[in-house]
Amino acid sequence: MPIKGMTDSGPRLYRLGTLRKGAAKTANKPGKNLDHFRFDPTDGNEEAADAFNAAYPNGNDVIVYLPYRSINDNWMAFREEYTNAELVHRCDGSRLWEYDEAGRLSETNIPCPYADTDNKGCKPVGRLQVMIPALMEAGHVGTVTVNTTSINDIVNLSAALEAYAEAGALSGVPFVLSRQEQMISKPINGKRVRSAEWLIVLRPANDWVLRRQIEAANQPTLSLAAPGDNTMDIVFENDSVVEGDVILEDGRGVCSVADCGAIVSAEAVEALRAKVGRIYCKEHYKELVASAS
C-alpha cells in the first residue's frame, strides 16, 4: 500500500540540473537574457554541466526527449510569488494551488490575493522536464528542467505540447530545444512596443518527422473484398507501398510475398515472379488469385 505524501506523488526522475535562459545573477540584479541555454547543475552534478557544454558549445539546438507520457507530468506552468527566494504562493491566476496529502499539486478554494488587481505580485513561471541523450551517453542519467518566465514561451510551449500530444508524439520522440530570436509585442512605459526577444522553441527533430512521413506513405491501405468474392477477405489497394521487397515505380506499388501471401501461397508468388519478373497488383492480381488453391 502507498504511504500518503511519500509514494503516491506521481512519476519523478533524478534531476541533473536546469537549463536557464539568463546569465548567472549578480549581487544586485538578475543576469542578462542570453541567446542560448546555460546549464546550471544541481549539487554534485558539475560533470553533467561539463558534458552539456562539450556536446553543445553554443548552448543551442539541444536534442531532448520528454521523460513522461502526459503533458502535466512533463510541463508545469503557474503564477508564483517569492520573497527572499522562498515561495509565498502558487496559483493559476484565480485560485491557489497547494500540495495535498498525497503530495500532488491540487487546486484549492483559496483565491489568489492579486486576482482582482492589475499589479500582480505573482509572476508566470513555466518548467519543462526533458532528458538529454548527450548527457546519458556521458553517464549522466536524469532529467533537466527548462525554466522560463516569459509569457510568450509559456503560451507557445503549452500550445506545442497540446498539438504533439494530440498527434501521439510526446514520449519517445526526439525534439530539438532551441532559442530563436523573434519579434514580440510587450508593454513599455504604458505602450505596446515590438522588440526582439530570444524565445524557446520545441519542435520534433527533422529526421523523426521524415521517418513518420515515410511510414505513413508506406502504410498499406486495406479494403473489403467485393461481394460474393470468396477468394480473399482483405486485399491491398493497387497503389499501396508496403514493407518488404517493395519498390515504388511509375506510381504503382510492387507486390511482395508479404502482400500476396495473405491471398495465395508464397510458392505461387515466387512462380509468377520467375515468369514475369516484377509483380504488380494492378496487372497480375487476377492471375495470382486464379492460382490460389
Q: How confident is the model at residue 104 (pLDDT cuts 50, 70, 90)?
A: confident
Residue 3 has pLDDT above 50, yes or no: yes
Who has greater pLDDT, 262 or 124?
124
Q: Which residues, including other chains, have CB under 8 Å from residue 245's CB and lie 6 or more apart? A: 254, 256, 257
Task: Please tell me the least confidently modeled range out of 99-108, 109-118, 120-129.
Answer: 99-108
Q: Would you tell me the crossing angle of helices 281-290 and 266-276 to the nearest 10 degrees?
A: 130
What's the pLDDT score for residue 249? Answer: 35
**C-alpha cell at position 29:** 540584479
Q: How far apart are CA 108 and CA 94, in angstroms?
A: 10
Q: And the C-alpha cell for 286?
A: 487476377
Give Cα 284 to chain centroid, integer Å.
43
Per-chain mean pLDDT for the chain: 77
In terms of Cα–Cα distance, which of 153, 103, 106 is closest to 128? 153
Spans of all domains in the chain: 15-213, 219-290
Q: What percent of the chain has pLDDT over 70?
A: 71
Choice between 291 and 87, residue whose per-residue pLDDT is larger: 87
**Could you tell me the end-to-end alpha-carbon distance of the chain, in angstroms, rounded to an integer?**
59
Cα torsion 127, 129, 132, 138 to 10°: value is 100
Angle at the Cα of 202 from the Cα atoms of 72 and 104, rounded to 5 degrees: 15
Q: Where do we find the cell 515472379? A: 273
Average pLDDT over every residue of 161-186:
89
Q: Is the pLDDT of residue 281 over 60?
A: no
Three cell numbers written together for 89: 504562493
Res. 245 pLDDT band, cuts 50 70 90: very low
Per-residue pLDDT tens over the stretch 128-147: 999 999 999 999 999 999 99
Sheet holding 86-91, edge to edge: 33-41, 15-22, 143-148, 123-130, 75-83, 86-91, 95-99, 105-111
Per-residue pLDDT tens digits for 248-270? 333 333 344 334 333 445 566 66
168 vs 242, more confident: 168
Tell me what pLDDT residue 233 has: 27
d(CA 6, CA 31): 36
User: pLDDT tens, 23-32?
Assistant: 988 777 778 8
Report the pLDDT value the prediction gives residue 201, as an integer from 0 to 100. Answer: 95
- Say if strands 15-22 and 143-148 run parallel, antiparallel, or are unpaired: parallel
pTM of the model: 0.69
Which residues make beta-bridge pairs with 15? 143
Of all residues in the chain, the percent with pLDDT exceeding 90 is 39
